[in-house]
Amino acid sequence: ALSDSLDKTFRNLRGVGKISEKNIADALREIRLALLEADVEFTVAKTFIEHVKEQAMGAEVLKSVKPGEQIVKIFHDELAELLGGDQVPLELEGEARILLCGLNGAGKTTTAGKLAGRLKREGRRPLLVACDLYRPAAIDQLATVASQVEVPVYTPDASETDVVKVATDALAWAATQPHDVVIFDTAGRQEIDERLVEELKRLHAFLSPGETLLVADAATGQGAVSVARHFDEAVSITGIILTKLDSDARGGAALSMRAVTGKPIKYVGEGEKLDQLFEFHPDRMADRILGMGDVVGMVEQVAARIDEKDAMKSIERLSTGQFDFYDFLDQMKMIGKLGDMKGLMALMPGFNKIKKQLPDAAFDPKRMKRTEAIVLSMTPDERRRPEIIKASRRRRIAAGSGVDVIEVNRLLKQFGEMRKMMRSPNKMKKMMGGMPGMG
Ligand code: GDP
Ligand code: MG
């Protein structure tokens, strides 16, 4: 799973401060695998990664998150942008016509019913027309669906073979019905065949619909590109409806189809029930394609809570070997701002492994409060030069902060160890890398 491989990437990148060709390479490889695992078509994945990589390299490095995480976030945002950048509602001006097309079993007939129901709930007056003349059962199926959503339907005679004739009759029928939009369900094939395409083209030319929507199974996979391209070339689709997202499909088809046609995804089907047609959320789809838990949410939270300049100032001081109780306080405040670290880190893939590397105290707000109280009870001189804090000062500080002198001793010991570590760059890198937001 991607979370496992990202876990590895994060481990590798922890403690690395900048995005470089070298450290971006690992993350890019993981993202490429994620895209392919999500069934994004190969060349689409490749092009997308090349494109985003260029931007990532040019982007200012966000210092308070790790490069691997930042790269994932950049990809996520680009992906969401690409999937839904020009998201527009259906074009339903005047007496609107919607033509649905797609392969057999993609979900056209079901989606026709869902769409009619949805538009009706939105206050429109839709009609349905059955133009699948290849299977008599298909006409009955649309009629059933139509009655379920309580939308009038035009069903041709079983003997009818010409779709344009059917469409002509349907429009004459529609003229007798109160309506403002007509939805045409069409025939599909297991694979694209010439006869089907010719028929669809004729119907499309006759209707010149405001919307020609490709209905496609989210699990279409590597075939998504050729399906989308064929239908787009034949009838110039205006949008895509992705069905069966409730299955375990990873949704890569969304990216593939969007990339080759440039046409927006208008809705997604998430179940067999007729009310399970939903607006498309590019953000959620990007999550799904990258399959990465909520790394993105985590990066956003960290970025929002930590003031980068503060973080950098303190890290710079540390790396020059200066470290006193003022720096210590700064750090505590920074960690404090992260709030519930456990909750935050639980969003991260591989959380349990990281948890093992951190002392429990890092997660304990009560202990942090007591530690802060101890430091606040020190005089400025003591904070700058902790080595002067001998027995009598320790007793005073303990009394002032309301803790046992043992705790003051423990803190001073910890502080001494931290300081020693600060002077050893390798050890420090390790430690800083273990803290979220300080990579
Ligand atoms: P068509 O051949 O393109 O008209 O496809 P149908 O509308 O007949 O759908 C084929 C099958 O997919 C039917 O069993 C539908 O119930 C099912 N189906 C359609 N959309 C969805 C969906 O969003 N989720 C699930 N789980 N099943 C769907
Ligand atoms: Mg059908």
Residue range 155-167: average pLDDT?
94
The yes-or-no verdict on residue 439 having pLDDT over 60 is no
The mean pLDDT of the chain is 80
- Closest Cα to atom 5, ligand 1: which residue? 107
- CA 119 to ligand 2 centroid distance, Å: 19
In terms of average pLDDT, the best of 56-70, 102-116, 291-305, 358-372 is 102-116
Average pLDDT over residues 241-266: 89
Q: What pLDDT is attached to residue 395?
A: 93
> Is residue 304 marked as binding?
no
Global pTM value:
0.67
Positive or negative CA dihedral for 167, 169, 170, 174?
A: positive
Q: What is the CATH number of domain 96-279?
A: 3.40.50.300
ipTM for the complex?
0.99
433 is annotated as contributing to ligand binding: no
The model's pLDDT over 295-354, given as tens digits with 9 standing for 90+, comes to 555 555 555 555 556 656 655 666 666 778 887 777 666 666 555 455 555 444 444 444
Quote the pLDDT of residue 132. Answer: 93
Residues 237, 206: contact at Cβ < 8 Å? no
Q: What residues flank ligand 1, with Cβ below 6 Å? A: 102, 104-110, 188, 243-244, 246-247, 269-272
Q: pLDDT tens digit string along 187-208?
A: 987 777 888 899 999 999 999 9
Q: How far is the CA of 107 from the centre of ligand 1 (A)?
A: 4
163: CA distance to ligand 1 center in Å? 22
* CA 185 to ligand 1: nearest atom: 4
Q: Which of 41-55, 56-70, 233-247 has the highest mean pLDDT?
A: 233-247
Mean pLDDT within 53-78? 72
| Closest approach atom of ligand 1 to CA 106 | 3
Q: Give the CATH fold of the 306-434 domain.
A: 434 Repressor (Amino-terminal Domain) (1.10.260)
The number of the ligand nearest the C-alpha atom of 276 reads 1
Separation between Cα atoms, residue 298 and residue 356, nearest integer Å: 19
- 2-11, 71-80, 122-131, 226-235, range with the lowest pLDDT: 2-11
Residue type, 383: R
pLDDT attached to residue 305: 58
Give pLDDT, residue 409: 92
What is the per-residue pLDDT for 357?
Answer: 45
Greater model confidence, 11 or 150: 150
Tell me the pLDDT band of 145, cut-offs 50, 70 and 90.
very high
Phi, psi of 254 (to 5 degrees): -60, -45
User: Does 307 or 112 have the greater pLDDT score?
Assistant: 112
pLDDT of 356 reads 47
DSSP 401-420: HTS-HHHHHHHHHHHHHHHH
Per-residue pLDDT for 108 more than 90?
Answer: yes
Q: Which helix (H) or strand (E) holds 240?
A: strand 239-243
306-434 shares the fold of 2-85 = no
User: Which two tokens mark 106?
Assistant: 């993609």
Cα-to-chain-centroid distance, residue 141: 35
Distance CA 20, CA 58 (A): 10
pLDDT of residue 365: 67
Confidence of residue 434 (pLDDT cuts 50, 70, 90): very low
Instruction: Tell me the per-residue pLDDT of 412-426, one tens digit each, with 9 for 90 and over.
Output: 988 887 777 666 655
Structure tokens at 12: 């590798």
Task: Check residues 406 and 318 and name the one with the higher pLDDT.
Answer: 406
Q: pLDDT at position 278, please?
A: 92
Q: Residue 433: what pLDDT? A: 47
pLDDT value at 184 more than 90: yes
Higher-confidence residue: 166 or 57?
166
Between residues 103 and 290, which one has the greater pLDDT? 103
Per-position DSSP letters for 244-279, written without gaps between them: -TTSS---HHHHHHHHHH-PPEEEEE-SSSTT-EEE
Tell me, in angstroms, the distance from the centre of ligand 1 to residue 217's CA: 9
Q: Is 187 annotated as a binding residue?
A: yes
**Nearest ligand 1 atom, CA 269:** 23
Please state the rounded mean pLDDT for residues 75-85: 86
Residues 266-294, mean pLDDT to the nearest whole number: 85
- As a whole number of angstroms, the distance between CA 341 and CA 356 comes to 14
CATH annotation of 2-85: 1.20.120.140
Ligand-binding site membership of 338 (annotated)? no
Question: What are the sequence ranges of the domains in the chain?
Answer: 2-85, 96-279, 306-434
- Per-residue pLDDT, averaged over 387-404, amounts to 92
Point out the least confidently predicted range of 4-8, 16-20, 35-39, 71-75.
4-8
pLDDT in tens, 360-395: 555 566 777 788 889 888 988 898 888 899 999 999
Provide, rounded to the nearest whole percent, the portion of the chain with pLDDT above 70: 72
